């Protein structure tokens, strides 16, 4: 309209700064907003958070914001203080299913760039809601002891656009009042209108699927409060299968299948998990080489949790030779995985290494494995094996490599060598290949 009224001139241009304030503001409103960014977080701060059982992910390759989820069992002040070290970069935080309470939550009030906060199924009450940063736009409060009064306080200074309030203390009448009073999108969960839709498959709380002694099996509380029935022998569960009431222990390898049932609803799909009892989880070790900082969470190498082909899911550690690597000088950056293992006078037969290959992501299976007896402070090779490299176009796969322990030893050194160059014909031919490993254990 402005251009037409000014004569529809195709030859000349008008600078925005020469326009009136009203026209200038109108035009600027149509221009794309400049994306906010922050400086990168300290690697030491990120490492500390991972040691405290936080799973960290980069929000996007185009910014330095961080997403964090607490995977531990007991949340304390030290965890929240560690989060404050990256308060500039933290954009998404999940503290669900923890002991978070009105006192602990106060420490996260200064997370000024936090946009997404999930605190489902915690110990908080209305009192805690005043400690939620005004920057939060999406808030999950499912299964908490909060009322409409507490929710109203969020809108006094806040910027909430989406809020999830399943299974709270808010009555139907108060729900309607909130919806009519504020422009935010409220999600109060399922009610009678949801009957006839399928239930979600049951999920176990622990991600661990391998264990050496016993393992506690516990299911998340499903929304809609259905009945969970399960089997431990691989059979599909039905309406006569065992009902889950409390967590239970397993002490042998088995296939767990579970299904959710509720009158008036469609049954869920079957959830299935294979649990494997192994000889042992590594507890006494020294990791000699270091994963790359982009895929670094060493504790995940020895936690009994086997990852899938998604190498960005936080379960994998990635090793790649650094450009400044010098043999004998900075061996930690060699791109190989080297770990020393103290057997503590116990006897094991096999070491298992779970690795990933994804040629498109420059990730290749190991080139070779070597096992040394270092009990006498000298390296004695007791096993070695080379592997044929996969062809270009090979599917993305994970694989277990088995290394037999042929000598009676008290200390071992395991060397998993990476392919140092991507193969001929690869788009990045000649560049260093990644080695990705997520688990080392005794099979």
Output phi, psi for 16, to 5 deg: -60, -40
Per-residue pLDDT at 341 exceeds 60: yes
Cα angle 187, 108, 184 (rounded to 5 degrees) comes to 25
pLDDT of res. 139: 95
CB 313 within 8 A of CB 430: no
Element (DSSP H or E) covering residue 341: strand 337-342
Task: Give the residue-averaged pLDDT of 112-134.
Answer: 92
> What is the distance between the alpha carbons of residues 292 and 335, in angstroms, rounded to a whole number?
8
Whose CA is closest to 86, among 132, 50, 122, 60? 50
Per-residue pLDDT at 342 exceeds 50: yes
Confidence of residue 192 (pLDDT cuts 50, 70, 90): very low
Give the gyration radius of the chain's Cα atoms: 27
Output phi, psi for 261, to 5 deg: -130, 145
The CA–CA distances, whole Å, from 411 to 340, 346, 352, 355, 370 equal: 7, 10, 16, 23, 14
Displacement of CA 276 from its chain's centroid (Å):
22
When comparing pLDDT for 10 and 386, which is higher? Answer: 386
CB 157 within 8 A of CB 138: no
The CA–CA distances, whole Å, from 144 to 171, 184, 372 equal: 14, 19, 53
> What is the distance between the alpha carbons of residues 110 and 90, in angstroms, rounded to a whole number?
11
Q: What share of the chain is helix, strand, coil (3-state, %, to 5)?
A: 20, 30, 55
pLDDT of res. 33: 54
Element (DSSP H or E) covering residue 114: none
Half-sphere exposure (Cβ direction) of 78: Cα atoms closer than 13 Å: 8
Sequence-ordered list of residues with C-beta below 8 angstroms from that of 333, at least 6 positions apart, any chain: 289, 290, 321, 322, 324, 325
Q: Please give the model's pTM, rounded to 2 decimal places.
A: 0.53
pLDDT tens per residue, range 347-399: 899 999 999 999 989 999 999 999 999 999 899 999 999 999 988 888 888 88
pLDDT tens per residue, range 57-74: 888 877 889 999 998 878
Confidence of residue 190 (pLDDT cuts 50, 70, 90): low
Task: Give the residue-averaged pLDDT of 5-11.
Answer: 64
Terminal Cα distance for the chain, rounded:
74
């Amino acid at each position: 309209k402005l251009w037409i009224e000014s004569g529809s001139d195709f030859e000349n241009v008008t600078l925005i700064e020469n326009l009136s304030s009203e026209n200038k503001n109108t035009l600027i409103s149509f221009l794309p907003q400049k994306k906010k960014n922050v400086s990168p977080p300290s690697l030491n701060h990120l490492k500390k958070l991972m040691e405290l059982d936080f799973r960290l992910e980069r929000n996007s390759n185009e910014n330095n914001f961080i997403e964090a989820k607490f995977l531990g069992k007991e949340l304390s002040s030290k965890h929240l203080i560690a989060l404050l070290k990256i308060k500039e970069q933290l954009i998404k935080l999940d503290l669900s299913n923890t002991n978070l309470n009105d006192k602990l939550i106060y420490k996260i009030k200064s997370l000024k760039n936090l946009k997404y906060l999930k605190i489902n199924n915690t110990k908080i009450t209305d009192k805690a809601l005043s400690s939620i940063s005004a920057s939060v736009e999406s808030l999950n409060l499912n299964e908490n002891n909060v009322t409409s009064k507490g929710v109203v306080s969020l809108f006094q200074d806040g910027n909430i656009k989406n809020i999830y309030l399943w299974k709270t203390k808010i009555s139907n009448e108060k729900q309607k009042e909130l919806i009519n009073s504020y422009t935010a999108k409220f999600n109060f969960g399922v009610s009678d209108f949801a009957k006839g839709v399928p239930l979600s498959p049951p999920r176990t709380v622990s991600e661990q699927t391998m264990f050496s002694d016993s393992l506690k099996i516990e299911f998340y509380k499903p929304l809609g409060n259905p009945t969970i029935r399960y089997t431990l022998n691989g059979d599909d569960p039905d309406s006569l299968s065992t009902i889950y009431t409390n967590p239970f222990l397993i002490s042998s390898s088995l296939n767990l299948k579970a299904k959710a049932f509720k009158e008036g609803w469609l049954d869920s799909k079957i959830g299935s998990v294979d649990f494997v009892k192994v000889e042992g989880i590594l507890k006494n070790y020294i990791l000699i080489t270091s994963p790359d900082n982009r895929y670094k969470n060493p504790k995940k190498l020895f936690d009994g949790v086997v990852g899938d082909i998604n190498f960005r899911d936080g379960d994998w550690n990635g090793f790649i030779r650094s450009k400044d690597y010098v043999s004998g000088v900075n061996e930690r950056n060699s791109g190989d995985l080297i770990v020393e293992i103290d057997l503590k006078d116990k006897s094991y037969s096999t070491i298992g290494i779970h690795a990933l290959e994804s040629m498109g992501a420059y990730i290749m299976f190991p080139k070779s494995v070597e096992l040394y007896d270092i009990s006498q402070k000298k390296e004695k090779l007791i096993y070695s094996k080379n592997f044929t490299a996969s062809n270009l176009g090979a599917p993305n796969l994970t694989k277990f490599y088995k290394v037999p322990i042929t000598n009676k030893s008290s200390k071992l050194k395991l060397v998993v060598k990476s392919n140092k160059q991507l193969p001929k014909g690869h788009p990045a031919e000649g560049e260093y290949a990644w080695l990705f490993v997520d688990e080392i254990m005794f099979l």
